């Protein structure tokens, strides 16, 4: 049967059943998704749309469907991958000139697992250069634009028609909202229906922040639960592959596919991963949910705070115990991250020297001059400034005062979480972002570092402690933009995290966009 446009935005679970019953051909689904990538090109979600590969993979899925040998629930499902994950034979640019022509010879483990599960790669999504940002506005290929709040949203309706008037009067694409970052392209691709799931990366909130602004689910797993092999590093000690989907169930399907130990990544947890199953009966009674008082900061908008309190009330009415808690070192998390980020960036970026791979400048006067010119041309101002700051922090005379002190503060932040868990708290509920998505013209009034300090305030501490965290869309603001909340759990408590996230999702019934 032909796949119509208004069917493309259903969940992986639903469309997977249609593929399994042969009601839908993977190739038809892929054609519809590819058509949408063309129609929504002004949003700049993709750096590279893999047209031919997607067609080939979908035809292979068709063959498996015909022979009744589908590989699982993700077989035939269109996905996208953030362009800092290596994909064999496909460019992996990190949204930079430095890697504009880089084509890896191997797949990142997470993408390999998705490919082996039969999923279809739609393309590589846009990001802030080398994932250094919180808006997806610092890409060599131009900024990405949020579907919500854009004139292209007029091509959609909302599942819940009580909100239908809130998307009728949209500004033009000249007056657009950011998608968040640095995984903004992946969030746009999912929210718009160009794919059903996407990989992001999360070092300080780079999956959860754009998920919040684009009205999708964004999961950062426990550090080490998912392999980083093939993820071009930003901050090795905090980088985690993230998952963006439209529903919690879809997020779980992807997590069950990509999680587990990997011999190619020494930081993965060596215990075999047992796939998570969520009960159809979601009972949250008896759970202790903490509300950290430090997250109620002056920059928190009235709408987000009201949203936070309303969901807290719903949890309490369902039998959960909601109580205030304290994470006293939260206020130092951003400055601590700023130091550690720059130190690891300085180290990681040193490999781009213009010799082995990446951009090589036209310079032959000396090796030092070649290094300098290649790096000056290949990196943008944001990357160069972080390299310079990181090298300064790592100087022998500065090492103790910056790097060592930052590591000590990081330990205190992690200990704050441990004390909360030891007190019997099961989960923490916080805002994901302090406001709805800002407009681009307002966002760029502050520099990259200033914006990261604001945008990562609620999300970054989970990376410091290596904890799992998820952003769940809750409702629309008065201006029709998504508002979300974040749940955090102890390490390796993804089942508990996802169970409560799904309960919230079922209760609030966030009105997703559906093509007309």
Residues that are catalytic = 82, 182, 206
Work out the angle between the directed axes of helices 333-348 and 405-422 (0-180°, nearest 10): 130
From the list 140, 131, 111, the residue with the least C-alpha distance to 53 is 111
For residue 133, what are its two tokens? 């940002």
Residues sharing a CB contact under 8 Å with residue 354, sequence separation 6 or more, in sequence order: 360, 361, 363, 370, 371, 373, 374, 375, 378
In angstroms, rounded to a whole number, what is the distance separating the alpha carbons of residues 114 and 77? 10
Q: What is the DSSP letter of 79?
A: E
Q: For the chain, count helices (H), then strands (E).
A: 16, 13
Residue with tokens 């009330």: 313
The whole-angstrom separation of Cα 232 and Cα 361 is: 22
- Tell me the torsion sign for CA atoms 376, 379, 380, 386: negative
- Strand 469-476 with 46-49, pairing: unpaired
Contact between residue 86 and residue 103 where contact means Cβ atoms under 8 Å apart: no
Nearest to 181 by CA among 151, 220, 139: 139
DSSP E strands in 284-377: the ranges are 288-292, 321-325
SS3 307: helix
| Contacts of residue 457, Cβ cutoff 8 Å, sequence gap at least 6 | 295, 297, 299, 333, 334, 434
Contact 165, 205 (CB under 8 A): no
| C-alpha distances out from residue 393 to 55, 190, 238, 347, 405, Å | 48, 38, 18, 12, 11
Q: Which two tokens stand for residue 129?
A: 């250069």
Beta strands, E only, 120-239: 120-125, 156-158, 197-202, 217-220
Answer yes or no: are the C-beta atoms of 312 and 289 closer than 8 Å: yes
Q: How far apart are CA 217 and CA 472, in angstroms?
A: 5
Short-list 476, 450, 514, CA closest to 177: 476
How does strand 288-292 pair with strand 321-325? parallel
Sign of CA pseudo-dihedral 218, 282, 423, 308: positive
Instruction: Judge whether 301 and 431 are in contact, CB under 8 Å.
Output: no
């Amino acid at each position: 049967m032909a796949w119509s446009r208004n069917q493309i935005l259903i969940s992986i679970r639903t469309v997977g059943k249609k593929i399994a019953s042969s009601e839908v051909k993977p190739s038809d689904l892929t054609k519809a998704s590819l058509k949408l990538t063309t129609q929504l090109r002004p949003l700049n979600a993709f750096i590279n749309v893999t047209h031919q590969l997607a067609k080939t993979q979908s035809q292979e899925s068709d063959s498996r469907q015909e022979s009744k040998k589908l590989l699982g629930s993700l077989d035939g499902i269109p996905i996208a991958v953030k362009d800092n994950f290596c994909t064999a034979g496909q460019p992996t640019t990190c949204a930079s000139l430095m890697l504009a022509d880089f084509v890896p010879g191997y797949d990142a483990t997470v993408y390999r697992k998705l490919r082996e599960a039969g999923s279809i790669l739609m393309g590589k999504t846009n990001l802030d250069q080398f994932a250094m940002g919180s808006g997806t506005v610092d890409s060599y290929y131009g900024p990405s634009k949020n579907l919500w709040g854009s004139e292209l949203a007029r091509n959609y309706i909302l599942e819940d028609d009580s909100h239908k008037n809130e998307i009728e009067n949209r500004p033009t694409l000249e007056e657009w909202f950011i998608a968040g970052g640095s995984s903004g392209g992946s969030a746009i691709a999912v929210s718009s229906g160009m794919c059903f799931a996407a990989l992001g990366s999360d070092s300080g909130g780079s999956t959860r922040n754009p998920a919040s602004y684009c009205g999708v689910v964004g999961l950062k797993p426990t550090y080490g639960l998912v392999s980083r092999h093939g993820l071009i590093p930003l901050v090795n000690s905090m980088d985690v592959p993230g998952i963006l989907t439209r529903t919690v169930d879809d997020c779980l399907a992807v997590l069950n596919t990509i999680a587990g130990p990997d011999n190619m990544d020494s930081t993965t947890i060596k215990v075999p991963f047992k796939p998570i199953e969520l009960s159809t009966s979601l009972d949250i009674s008896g759970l202790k949910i903490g509300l950290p008082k430090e997250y109620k900061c002056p920059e928190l908008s009235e709408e987000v705070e009201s949203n936070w309190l309303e969901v807290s009330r719903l949890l309490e009415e369902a039998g959960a115990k909601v109580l205030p808690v304290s994470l006293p070192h939260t206020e130092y998390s951003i400055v601590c991250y700023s130091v550690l980020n720059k130190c690891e960036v300085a180290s990681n970026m040193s490999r781009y020297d213009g010799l082995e791979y990446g951009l090589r400048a036209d310079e032959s006067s000396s090796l030092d001059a070649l290094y300098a010119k290649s790096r000056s041309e290949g990196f943008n101002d944001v990357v160069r400034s972080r390299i310079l700051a990181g090298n300064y922090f790592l100087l022998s005379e500065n090492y103790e005062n910056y790097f060592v002190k930052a590591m000590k503060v990081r330990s205190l932040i992690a200990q704050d979480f441990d004390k909360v868990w030891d007190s019997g708290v099961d989960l923490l509920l916080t805002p994901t972002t302090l406001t709805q998505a800002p407009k681009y013209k307002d966002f760029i009034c502050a520099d990259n570092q200033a914006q990261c300090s604001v945008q990562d305030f609620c999300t970054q501490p989970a990376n410091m402690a290596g904890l799992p965290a998820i952003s769940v869309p809750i409702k629309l603001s008065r201006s029709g933009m998504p508002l979300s909340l974040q749940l955090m759990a102890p390490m390796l408590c993804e089942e508990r995290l996802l169970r409560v996230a799904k309960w919230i999702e079922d209760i609030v019934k966030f009105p997703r966009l559906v093509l007309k």
